[in-house]
Amino acid sequence: MPCAALCEPPTEIPPAEPGRSVLVLNVGWDTGSPQTSTQLFAGDAAVNAGYVNEQVREWYSQSSAGASGVWSAFAGGDYAIAAPHFANPADPTSCDPEQLLAEVSSRAEAAARAQGVEPDEYAVVAVTWWLLPTCGYTGYRNGRHIMFNFHNLTVHHELGHILGLAHAAGISCFDAAGNRVPLSSNCAVADRGDRYDLMGAGSGTFNAVYASQLGWLNGQVERLETGDYVRTVTLKPYTALPHGLRAVRLQDGNATLWLEYRQPIGVDSPGYTFPFSVPATPGLLVHREVRANGLPVSQLLDMTPAAGPEDAGLPIGQTWANPLGEMKVTLVSADASGATVRISSQRIAVPDVIGRTRTEASLAFENAGLVLGGSEEVIDPNCEFIGTVKSQTPAPGTRLLPGGAVSVKVGKEKKKGACN
């Protein structure tokens, strides 16, 4: 296809950096289209490449405290190509982003090669244009190809996919009575439901699950497991520089939980990269890490289900107990400088009810968060515990999870009147 007057190729393409080079091919349609009238704008390849080399690189550098940020974008030229077939109401497949990206990128690469530009020399090929179809998305990634509509947060997001990151999900969970709770065995997943994370529906930096996947948390995470202990840590604001301790990874039974403290600092500042974004309420966030296709996927827990997804943090002074594990998390205090968090066991010491009546023993267990599991009358030959608890199982001081059962044996006479 002959190149239109506006699609002059770049005079020089700098050498690519392995793994982080991005070739930007800006496109427009060479003829009108019944679905769109997207036109070609000269110089946009250079504008978008410059955006990657400046704003995107800075965002990655700040998010990783200098561990990353080496994206290098190169303007591959502006090209007029045949309009793709998309957003056709009579053809539902025309809104398939994978089909659209394949169609546009193949035509853009063919046009670039005709002008001496070789896309295969680059790790990533980005195709950009001014107007995307009205199909509910503004960008997409498939393999080493991405597409986006001019420069915006979509670029950061799609490059996150290039690094292997999944969407940052949110979950809505319900207890047995149908009440909303932060976590249970009955949860619905919202694919991009994390309002705090750029890989979700937010504009903030990547959460601790993904920062760990990228190697950005070296020396900045405390790793804990289920146990009968109390551990108190102070987390720095997640995006404050220089970084200190900014995440806790808690392996609690089958649940892998990550704690981080978000404040409007650095790349989490309102409007840092996109002035029209609405930031979520800062606070102590809890993510669950699950696995899909062998890779981590983050799920944001809503610690205040009644307040909405923009306020998912655990309130100061409150404790959340993991219903799928044995540990609990308390936000002791928090201010702009950091958050003091206590991670402790949910286990409860069994009260000593020896010598109490059965009714008194049952009430003592209930007040402690336990239950009376069984009661048996046994002969007390010494007449010391007639009508009262002679022994209990487990023994006093044993630590049980909430709802744990304690059985008692209540003394009785060998025969009526034997203890008079």
β-pairing, 371-379 with 405-412? parallel
CA distance 362 to 351: 11
What's the pLDDT score for residue 361?
A: 95
Share of the chain above pLDDT 90, in %: 64
β-pairing, 371-379 with 295-300? unpaired
What's the pLDDT score for residue 45?
A: 92
What's the pLDDT score for residue 4?
A: 39
CA distance 61 to 37: 37
User: Which residues of the chain register pLDDT less than 70?
Assistant: 1-18, 32-37, 87-90, 92, 131-134, 136, 150-151, 271-279, 309
Q: Domain 348-412: which CATH class?
A: alpha beta
pTM to 2 decimals?
A: 0.87
What's the pLDDT score for residue 280?
A: 79
Considering only CA atoms, which of 381, 363, 380 is closest in space to residue 372? 363
Question: What are phi and psi for residue 83, nearest 5 degrees?
Answer: -65, 135
CA distance 227 to 252: 8
Other CB atoms within 10 A of residue 348 CB: 17
CA distance 264 to 281: 9
CA distance 137 to 154: 10
Considering only CA atoms, which of 375, 196, 171, 372 is closest in space to residue 255? 171
Q: Where in the chain is the domain with CATH 3.30.10.20?
A: 348-412
